[in-house]
Each structure stands twice: as C-alpha cells, then as structure tokens.
Amino acid sequence: MKKNISIIGGGACALILACELDPKKFSVSVFEKNNALGRKFLVAGDGGLNLTHSESENEFVLRYTPHQFFKEAFSYFSNKHFIEWINAMGIETFVGTSGRIFPKKGIKPIDVLKCFEEKIVKNNVALNFKHEWKGFADNNGLIFKTATGTKIIQSDITIFCMGGASWPVTGSKGDWRSLFEIKNIKTIPFQASNCSFKVEWPKNIIKEIEGKPLKNISINCGNKIHSGEIVLTAFGMEGSGIYPLSPQIRAQLKENESAKIYIDLKPHLSADECLKKFESVETKHSYTENIVKNLNVNKMQMILLKSKMSKNDFLDPVKFVNNLKALEIQISGLGPVEDAISTVGGINLNEINKKFELKKMESNYVIGEMLDYDAPTGGYLLQSCFSMGKFLAEHLNDLA
C-alpha cells in the first residue's frame, strides 16, 4: 500500500513539493487553512514576481545566513535548475535589473500559480482547503480545525511548510511555535527581516526627506558592505540597498539596542578623489555651490549631511569628505514583523537533520520560511523554498 504524505500549508514550498512527489509511490494531500493556494506567492508578485537570481552558484549560496544548512539542497536544485524547470513548465523567464529573474513580460503571477496548480492536479494531489493544523495527535495523527469541526488525520509522512510570520493577512502568522515547543522542539521568536529600520531623524528634516530615495550609495554595517538604493521614511529607511544587511543590523541591535550603519554617498570616488574636487573651486560660487557642482551632491544628500554635521565641520573639506564617504546613522529598531518581507526565527536549525527531518520526530519534515534562516530580497527567498522542496521530494521519492 502507498504511504500517505501530508503537506501542511499551501505556499511556495508546498507548490513544488506537490508537483514533484511521485504519485505512483505516495498518496499526497495538501492541507491549507485559506481557501486557495499561494496567497503570499501572489503578494510577492505584486511589484514583479522575482522568482530567483541569475548569479553564480558559488555566490548564490553565500547570500543565506547561515548558508551551510542549505548548501546541499541548493547544489541539488540550484537557480539554474529551477529556471530550466519552470521554463519546461511553459513559464518563460528573463533576467531583469541587477540579475534578478522574472517571468517574461505579459506572464502574471496568477498565470505562474495556475501552471503549478495544473501540474499538481495532474499529479493527483488532494487539496484540502479551510484546514487549519492545530497540533499533533497520538499515532502520527494531525489535528485540524475545519469548517465543520475538528478532524484527526493519520499521516505516514508529514511535511510542514507553514511559512514565517510576515504579512499575516496571507495566512502565514507563525502562530504554530507553541505546537512544536510541546514536543520539545526548540523554536526562536520571529523577528522582521528585509524590513524597515527605525531612525530617529531630526524632526525638522522629516517632511523634506519622507518618501525620497538615496540612489547609488553603499552602506557598511559590521563587516559587510552592500550597494544599492534606499528610501527614507518618517519611520527610518527601507529598500534593497539595506535589506541584505538585516543580519548585521539585527546582531548589533541585540547586543547594544542600537546599530550603526555608515552610508557612502559617493561609492565610486575615493576620499582622495573627493578632496581633489575641492581644489577646483570657483570663487564666483559659494562653498556649498562648489560642493554641489564639483562633487555632484544632490539636495537629499545635502539635507542629510547638514543634519549630521556642525557648521564648522561642514566647512572643513576633510571633515566634509569623511562624512560624505561614511555618514554615520544610528538604527534604533526594526519595523513591525507584519510589514516585513520575510522573517527570521521559527524552528531552530539544530532541530532538523540534513534532509530537513525533525531529529526528535521521525518522518516529520520542516522546510521554507518556518526555519530560522535569513535571505535577502532578490529572488533568494523563493529560490530557497524551491530548492528545499525539490530536494526533499526527491529524497522521499528515492526512499520509497
């Protein structure tokens, strides 16, 4: 008799698992508390569905914190494998700005989701909506709350993919931690990642900076530098230029209750090159006009620099350049988990083995954002789900 597999949660991980588990070997069922699959997958597609990234496999895996836990799954099903896989499903892709991979223009996120769903239906996977997992029962039983009451389902193999805790409106609330703690499985409270960062801006500049971008900058935090663009907000700042520094910022916040970042407003010029620009001052212009003209310092950069420097320092070219190249900003907190793109926290990675099986609960697996790892935006989050899902599906197919 075929063993049954229960997939709990119907997000990105479940989509690939349900496509790839072998229906000749298993009876596969998905249990999702919403009445549809992939709600967060569709939200992710709102500003363009960034499926993965085109960078080399060696660089790719280093984007994850920690990266060791994920290495084997990624080598087995890398970004290149995923692109081939999704192209073969009929979803053509293209490489967008900064190497990010998207479905070809004209293909909407819902079309990609439908493609997955067609494959899942062909695979004879049973889809159970409005089934909210509520805990473990005896003898491999799973407790569900359904529209008609509580139900217990026996499961030979269970794969948990209930996501993290950001954007709870999509169903991923992270409210399952205590259900694992009861089984002595260690979990870690959720924290925001790829989120907004709190900065106590001087009140007088908030109106001028709110919603404005700082482009072509690089930011240094701890031992890491990242280049890109950020948006300044009344709360602080956010954007792809700072998201990859989330692990370093969180670590400093944990230690000191504040984190320091240093913004290089002219990353393409060295400090010496910047200073040289002061030599070509034109006397018909004021000191500030010369800065604007020779160093191409824009209004936003000027507002920030002035807010952080005394008048004397501002008028001293060496001190001015020091700030231009490393403007210190203090971060005093993280934005709310609910508004973040992703979360860290969840199941402690020490609780799973290399195949994502819970060490204390044989035949129970956990993948995706339920696990305590971090990845920046850029397609790395979805790729991690697809790599883990495909890797686990093939592992189980081979075992049967």
* Interface residue list for ligand FAD (CB under 6 A): 8-13, 31-34, 39-41, 43-44, 49-50, 132-133, 161-163, 166-167, 171-172, 176, 341-342, 368-369, 379-382, 385
Check: CB of residue 226 under 8 Å from CB of residue 249. no
**Min. distance of Cβ 31 from ligand FAD in angstroms?**
6
Shortest distance, CB of residue 40 to ligand FAD, whole angstroms? Answer: 4
Q: Which is nearer to ligand FAD, 159 or 263 (CB)?
A: 159
Cα 132 to chain centroid distance, Å, stands at 25
Q: Cα 168–221–189 angle (5° rounding)?
A: 30
Instruction: For residues 7 and 392, give the distance between their C-alpha atoms in angstroms, rounded to a whole number.
Output: 12
Per-residue buried b or exposed e for 265-297, using 16+ beta carbons within 10 Å of the residue's own CB: bbeebeeeebbebbeebeeeeeeeebbeebbeb
135 contact partners, CB below 8 Å, separation of at least 6 = 142, 143, 179, 182
Least separation in angstroms between CB 176 and ligand FAD: 5
How near is the Cβ of 107 to ligand FAD at its closest, in Å?
14
Provide, rounded to whole angstroms, the least separation between the CB of residue 347 and ligand FAD: 11
Q: Nearer Cβ to ligand FAD, position 243 or 314?
A: 243
The Cα–Cα gap between 156 and 72 comes to 25
Of 63 and 250, nearer to ligand FAD (C-beta) is 63
The CB-of-172 to ligand FAD minimum distance in angstroms stands at: 3
CB 295 within 8 A of CB 272: no
CB of 139 to ligand FAD, least distance (A): 20
196 vs 290, beta carbon nearer ligand FAD: 196
Least distance CB 303 / ligand FAD (angstroms): 29
Nearer to ligand FAD, 40 or 198 (CB): 40
CB crowding 9-22: b at 16 or more within 10 Å, else e? bbbbbbbbbbbbbe
Three-state SS sequence of 241-291: CCHHHHHHHHHHHHHHCCEEEEEECCCCCCHHHHHHHHHHCCCCCCHHHHH
Taking the least distance from each CB to ligand FAD, the nearer of 236 and 378 is 378
**Which is nearer to ligand FAD, 261 or 388 (by Cβ)?**
388
Between 210 and 339, whose beta carbon lies closer to ligand FAD? 339
Closest C-alpha among 262, 253, 255, 265 to residue 221: 262
Pick the closer one to ligand FAD by CB: 93 or 220: 93
Nearest distance from residue 288's CB to ligand FAD, in Å?
A: 40
Residue 331: how many CB atoms within 10 A of its CB? 22
Q: How far apart are CA 182 and CA 9, in angstroms?
A: 20
